């Protein structure tokens, strides 16, 4: 069910005092000023400790080289071809009941119910779909390789990710097999859908859903599509939180994305978000283990410092990256702003300093309207972001908790817009952010 409908204003003509009107907000979603002084003091002390942690991070040049190598990736079993009955299709299919297929050794393997069944395309199909990899159909370029827009024979528009040759990227096989193995396991409306792949000679190609409206980063830079107002940014944050919660809790095995960032969030024409790019994704630890030990991978600015230090990967590493993404949504700044003065280069650390100083409004994207509703939502959003980025991973909330917190933030924002709350000048504290 889409929760994006606007909330109607109250029919009552009387204004209730603000502290009664917003009293429903749960404790973790209230601003620091609404709590007791001791609680506020403990929060500020925690945020200062996080700030000290950030000072140890600067740029990728400070990252130590790891001598340990990536554990060997399991040899991928090719997904089965579509069922032979009826007209063959190059699109992904779903199995509504358990079935079997044979792996490379010829042994019968049981397939779980509702397993996504992808297609193994031929090179001729892909060449026809992309007009021989026409430069006119190239829509992007990433670390994995180039991305082309294509149309399958049945009219389905797809994105064709063509990997760089191994001489240019020696890790291409690992990323390719990881992406295929992970994407064949998942199905969620806020995750890019997987259609199939090719592994032929030097060619490594992944075929996925085409999402037409560019990346979140493009929109925050105001270079693609409509401007994102704060309400839309909260909707996008909730979409991403739902997707990552699904990966951590509801897929057939926990999955850690490892590369949650704005350039991996694609937007539809209706500005719904879809998480993409599973080249760095890993299966999480089972119930018997607390973490996976692996070579560090990710993007500078989004990397969990504890993972960077210990090489121990957990789902809380995705939570840390999500916290950085929330600050990015609020400020529209990139996680590392190399051209800014030193104290503002690490956006999360700068935002935290402004928050502690009581100047959260400085963090808000200057293109967004500075309304009481926006400033209230900003404070709540930053508080959640900094909870996600605490130095010790066990102190971070689960992604399911982030979803609940974001629902409360969005409801508060919509309710205040509907009520059109406007503070009187005498009610505004001098030199500080107005808090309800």
**Number of residues in the chain:** 436
The string over 7-20, giving b where at least 16 C-beta atoms fall within 10 Å of a residue's C-beta and e elsewhere, is eeeeeeeeeeebee
Residue with tokens 């291409």: 172
The closest alpha carbon to 376, from 423, 435, 431, 429, belongs to 435
Structure-block tokens of residue 373: 């509703």
- Distance from C-alpha of 68 to C-alpha of 300, rounded to nearest angstrom: 19
Residue 161 marked in a binding site: yes
The string over 98-121, giving b where at least 16 C-beta atoms fall within 10 Å of a residue's C-beta and e elsewhere, is eeebeeeeeeeeeeeeebbbbbeb
The closest alpha carbon to 210, from 145, 274, 131, 263, belongs to 274
**Angstrom distances, CA of residue 259 to CA of 28, 319, 322:** 27, 11, 10
Residue 203 three-state SS: strand
* Residues forming a β-bridge with 196: 119, 207
Q: CA quadruple 14, 17, 18, 22: dihedral positive or negative? A: negative
- Distance from C-alpha of 364 to C-alpha of 331, rounded to nearest angstrom: 5
Alpha helices in 167-314 (DSSP H): 172-183, 216-220, 230-245, 305-310
173 in active site: no
Residue with tokens 């309710």: 415
Q: Which of 74, 218, 221, 259 is catalytic?
A: 259
Residue 36, phi-psi category: left (phi > 0), alpha (psi -120 to 50), beta (remainder):
beta
Do the Cβ atoms of 164 and 195 come closer than 8 Å? no
| 378 CA to centre of own chain | 19
Residue 163 three-state SS: strand
- Distance from C-alpha of 344 to C-alpha of 397, rounded to nearest angstrom: 26
Alpha helices in 130-194 (DSSP H): 172-183
**Residues placed in the known binding site for ATP:** 161
Residues with a catalytic annotation lie at: 259
């Amino acid at each position: 069910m889409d929760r994006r409908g606007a909330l109607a204003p109250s029919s009552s003509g009387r204004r209730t005092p603000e502290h009664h009107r917003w009293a429903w907000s749960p404790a973790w979603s209230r601003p620091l000023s609404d709590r007791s002084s001791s609680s506020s003091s403990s929060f500020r002390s925690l945020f200062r400790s996080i700030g000290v942690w950030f000072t140890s991070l600067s740029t990728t040049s400070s990252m130590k080289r790891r001598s340990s190598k990536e554990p060997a990736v399991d040899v991928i079993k090719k997904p089965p071809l579509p069922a032979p009955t009826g007209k063959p299709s190059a699109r992904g299919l779903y199995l509504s009941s358990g079935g079997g297929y044979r792996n490379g050794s010829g042994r019968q393997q049981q397939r779980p119910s509702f397993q996504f069944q992808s297609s193994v395309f031929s090179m001729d199909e892909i060449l026809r779909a992309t007009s021989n990899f026409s430069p006119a159909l190239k829509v992007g370029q990433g670390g994995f390789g180039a991305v082309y827009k294509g149309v399958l024979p049945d009219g389905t528009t797809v994105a064709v990710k063509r990997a760089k040759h191994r001489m240019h990227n020696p890790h291409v096989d690992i990323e390719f097999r990881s992406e295929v193995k992970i994407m064949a396991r998942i199905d969620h409306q806020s995750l890019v859908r997987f259609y199939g792949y090719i592994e032929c000679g030097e060619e490594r190609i992944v075929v996925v859903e085409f999402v037409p409206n560019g990346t979140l980063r493009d929109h925050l830079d105001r270079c693609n599509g409509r401007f994102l107002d704060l309400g839309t940014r909260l909707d996008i944050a909730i979409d991403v939180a739902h997707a990552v919660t699904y990966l951590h809790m509801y897929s057939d095995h926990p999955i850690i994305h490892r590369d949650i960032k704005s350039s991996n969030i694609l937007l539809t024409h209706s500005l719904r978000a879809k998480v993409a790019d599973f080249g760095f994704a890993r299966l999480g630890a089972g119930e018997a283990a607390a973490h996976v030990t692996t070579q560090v991978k990710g993007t500078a600015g989004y990397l969990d410092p504890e993972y960077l230090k210990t090489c121990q990967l957990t789902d809380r590493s995705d939570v840390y990256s999500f916290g950085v993404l929330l600050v990015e949504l609020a400020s529209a700044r990139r996680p590392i702003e190399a051209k800014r003065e030193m104290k503002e280069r690490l956006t999360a650390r700068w935002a935290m300093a402004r928050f502690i100083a009581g100047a959260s409004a400085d963090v808000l994207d200057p293109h967004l309207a500075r309304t009481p509703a926006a400033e209230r939502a900003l404070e709540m959003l930053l508080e959640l972001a900094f909870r996600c980025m605490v130095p010790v991973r066990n102190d971070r909330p689960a992604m399911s908790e982030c979803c609940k917190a974001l629902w409360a933030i969005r409801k508060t924002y919509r309710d205040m817009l509907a009520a059109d709350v406007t503070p009187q000048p005498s009610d505004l504290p001098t030199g500080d952010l107005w808090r309800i």
